[in-house]
A and B are shown apart, each in its own frame.
Chain A
Amino acid sequence: MADEKRIDGPTGTSFVGHEWDGIEELDTPMPRWWLLTLYATIIFAVVMVILYPAIPMLHGASRGTLGWSSHGELEKEMAADHDRRAPTMHALAASPIEGLPANTQLLRAAQEGGRSAFKVYCTQCHGSGAAGAKGYPNLNDDDWLWGGDVATIQQTITHGVRQPGDDKTRMSQMPAFGRDGILKPEEVQDVVSYVRFVSHQEAANASARRGATIFANNCAVCHGADAKGSRTVGAPNLTDGIWLYGGDRDTLTETVTNARYGIMPAWGSRLDPVTIKMLATYVHSLGGGEALPPKPAGARPVAVAQK
């Protein structure tokens, strides 16, 4: 900095003292309104500090005289959103699940709500894309143990599968043929050969032919004489390309020997009916959903477990 003020002739303004290649900086004063704006922002900041949380303390920030907090804002927004969704929720509660497809807008709302709820409650087992895993069914495909129409899915979600303490839960139990000594190990292998034959994985052979007899005596009760399963008892179709645990010989041997006993919680005791309704419509929309069974002409109620 220059010790004494030097004045630029043409403008009458003093130099700052900075110089680059002969170009010097002038100490041009700011316009008054600019300075007033600066003061205004300072006053604004002081007022903000008084009104709103601002100064960090040991246990959180200073409160501010307005009592504003971001948590409070969130609560307000959540409450507002709850109010916004209330009419849709009421309409969903009032409409039976069978009637939803008639109301496209409500159906879409239910599916989107179900998509969110699925992420919270179902992805742990069925995966975020509902593609399942070994022992946890893929909900995208067209193979259903208990039925794939929307009312049946709702029933399954409400009461779960093999959920102790729920009278209406989906209940089925395959005997542990090998472990309990019902079948000898070689008989188990014969049955496995037969199952692999009916599912087009192996050609017919002597083992499979022996297995056919064993199958007819022990397995056809639930899985059916044609091995196509039964939704009444939740017995899987053994002839299709979809396996819950696996269709290779080792896995099938394990299944026949020790049986399987997968459990799904009964969500009726944890979730409200509207959420379950939304979950059912969402699962139904994943691509494998089936049409509702036609209503019988008589007064007999729809047998949801049968299809």
Chain B
Amino acid sequence: MSSPSQLTAPDEHFFEARRKVFPKAVDGPFRRLKWAIMAVALLIYYVTPWLRWNRGPWAPNQAVLVDLAHRRFYMFSIEIWPHEFYYVAGLLIMAGIGLFLVTSAVGRAWCGYACPQTVWTDLFVHVERAIDGDRNAQIRLQKAPWGPAKIAKRVAKHAIWLVIGALTGGAWIFYFADAPALGNAFVHGTAPFVAYATVGVLTATTYIFGGLMREQVCIYMCPWPRIQSAMLDEKSLTVTYKAWRGEPRTHGLKREATAQDLDHSGMPSLVALAADPSLAPRIGDCIDCNACIAVCPTGIDIREGPQIGCITCGLCIDACDGIMAKIGRPSRLIGYTTDLDERLAASGKQPLPALKRLFRPRTLVYFGAWAGIGLAMLFALGNRTRIDVSVLQTRNPQWVRLSDGSIRNGYIVKVRNMEARPRTVDISIAGPAGATLWSEASGRDGASTHLKLDVAPDQVAQAQLFVGAPGSGPERDDMVFTVRALDAEGGIARDKTHFERPEHEE
């Protein structure tokens, strides 16, 4: 750290060379929480595409499937059609607001525990540790000259990283096709090129981001830390070094020398402080052991205060608590706390109750918006019909005069059968008096006000229909097409359109 008085320019560099981070292994409640979340997240990611869900013979039996080729999205009992994409948009908005909510309630919890970059980097770090040893061994190996042992270790490490990358990319493609069939085709080299390309790209990105770039992604590439630093306020949870407790940091002989002047608690006696606070020699709890820096996956010093490099993973808390236990000082010299609580604690006051911190207008508004969108989508999902009609009136020509003097209009009627079984629907019209409906197949001889249409399972049926009506009448009549499913389940859909006649002469 440069002091303000140091006015010589630093060495001019066009770039900042990366200082490699060698995070030290640590154990503690937050480390164990990270293990658990990593296990759950990876389990969900790898297992989901292999879950089956019976939808009958007409639809795929994969529980979660993004069927881009047929433009369907399946998620357990829910099937989304392209025109219902607003559900997906709603989910994305919920995810966005959910991040706001989490951030305002518990800070950068997403970054520290759930972000794929964090989870996979964590995985890669563990692989590295298993092969190269812990922090000190890694640093030694880094400085060691190249030799058979170093080459073997490096090859093994990168090979395992690449395998993890390939498995990550490999799992991704199974969300977009029938997993067992694609897996089989993939192994036999008969899968589509895009599958191999996707696996290749995701293998590369996983390997590069998780193995090589790691904290660089968080610090330089990801926009989320910037957004979050704008969203944090004095009541947001951050990992905080309690400077009022820790400072001044001392260790070794100096610490022992100072400690002799103090009572057994390691703190200046209140009487002495009251007499002359400035004279009181004191030592902070921090023994400047740098354990918090050694375990940090982004290589920062948390004692410098909140910073963009801190992903609030809590590993420094585990590390510091271990040290505090060894030197017999209370734990949580570094801990999750808010800026406000920290200031209250520094001045000897009680921190805010957790509930009061959690339930403040901001979190409530976020939660309200988040839950509102979720409930609205659930309501819409529960009430949506699985049959739909859309009528497109032929505009060129708008009308055709038939030889008997009547007027004919043409309509392209699209009936969506969103059920995974074939359905027959009845199409009927209500419009100008005497109007009849026919199709090219039935011909005008078979015209009536009703018509039957078979719709294949999970498909759109398109029919060119004609409506004829007497030539006398208004230039534009309102007309409604009604589609009624003819099976037990039923379902009705309507679409409004018009019936056009030629402009009246004179």
Which residues of A line the B interface, CB within 8 A? 5-7, 9-14, 28-35, 127-131, 138, 140-143, 237, 240-242, 285, 287-289, 291
Contacts and interface: CB of A to CB of B under 8 A. Distances in A.
A33 B18 contact: yes
Contact of A29 (B1, B16, B408): B16
B71 to A, nearest CB: 20
Nearest to A30: B15
Give chain B's interface residue range (CB within 8 Å of chain A): 35 or more
Contacts of A29: 13-16
Contacts of A143: 402-403
B403 A142 contact: yes
Contact of A31 (B18, B443, B471): B18
A9 to B, nearest CB: 3
Given A12-B2, A140-B397, A140-B410, 10 more contacts: A9-B3, A9-B6, A12-B1, A12-B6, A31-B220, A35-B14, A129-B396, A142-B444, A241-B403, A291-B443
A251 B1 CA distance: 100
A240 B15 contact: no
Contact of B403 (A6, A11, A28, A237): A237
B404 interface: yes
Nearest to B440: A285
A291 B464 CA distance: 17
B6 to A, nearest CB: 7
A287 B440 contact: yes
B216 A289 contact: no
A31 B15 contact: yes
Nearest to A35: B15
B410 A7 contact: no
Contacts, number: 97
Nearest to A12: B2
B396 to A, nearest CB: 3
Contacts of B404: 240-241
A285 B464 contact: yes
B402 to A, nearest CB: 5
A241 B402 contact: yes
B14 A141 contact: no
A28 B15 CA distance: 9
Contacts of A131: 396-397, 400
B56 interface: no
Contacts of A287: 400, 408, 410, 440, 466
B436 to A, nearest CB: 14
Interface string B395-434: 1110011111100101000000000000000000000000
B503 to A, nearest CB: 14
5 contacts: A12-B10, A142-B403, A241-B404, A241-B471, A288-B400
A127 B408 CA distance: 18
A32 B444 CA distance: 76
A89 B186 CA distance: 35
Nearest to B409: A287
The secondary-structure label for the interface of chain A is loop
A130 B396 CA distance: 8
Contacts of A127: 396-397
A249 to B, nearest CB: 14
A31 B6 CA distance: 24
A32 B10 contact: no
B9 interface: yes
A141 B10 contact: no
B17 interface: yes
B77 interface: no
A9 B2 contact: yes
B373 interface: no
Contacts of A11: 2
A241 B1 contact: no
B83 to A, nearest CB: 23
Contacts of B400: 131, 138, 140-141, 287-288
Given A129-B397, A142-B402, A143-B403, A32 B6 contact: no
B330 interface: no
Nearest to A138: B400
Contacts of A5: 9
Contact of B396 (A28, A30, A33, A128): A128
A10 B216 contact: no
B403 A32 contact: no
A33 B16 CA distance: 9
Contacts of B2: 7, 9-12
A289 B403 contact: no
A178 to B, nearest CB: 26
A242 B403 contact: yes
A240 B8 CA distance: 102
Given A30-B15, A129-B396, A291-B443, A240 B3 contact: no
Interface in B1-40: 1-4, 6-10, 13-18
B213 interface: yes
Nearest to B212: A33
A131 B500 CA distance: 15
A33 B403 contact: no
A9 B4 CA distance: 4
A263 B14 CA distance: 80
B220 A34 contact: yes
Interface in B233-249: none
Contacts of B4: 9
A293 to B, nearest CB: 15
Contacts of B6: 7, 9, 12
Contacts of B1: 10, 12
A105 to B, nearest CB: 13
Nearest to A141: B400
Interface string B475-495: 000000000000000000000
A140 to B, nearest CB: 4
Contacts of B403: 141-143, 237, 240-242
Interface string B183-219: 0000000000000000000000000000001001000
Contacts of A291: 443
A14 B2 CA distance: 12
A133 to B, nearest CB: 11
A4 to B, nearest CB: 9
Nearest to B3: A9
A102 to B, nearest CB: 13
B468 to A, nearest CB: 10
Most B CB contacts (10 A, CB to CB) among A35, A142, A291 go to: A142
Given A7-B10, A241-B402, A33 B397 contact: no
Contacts of B7: 6-7
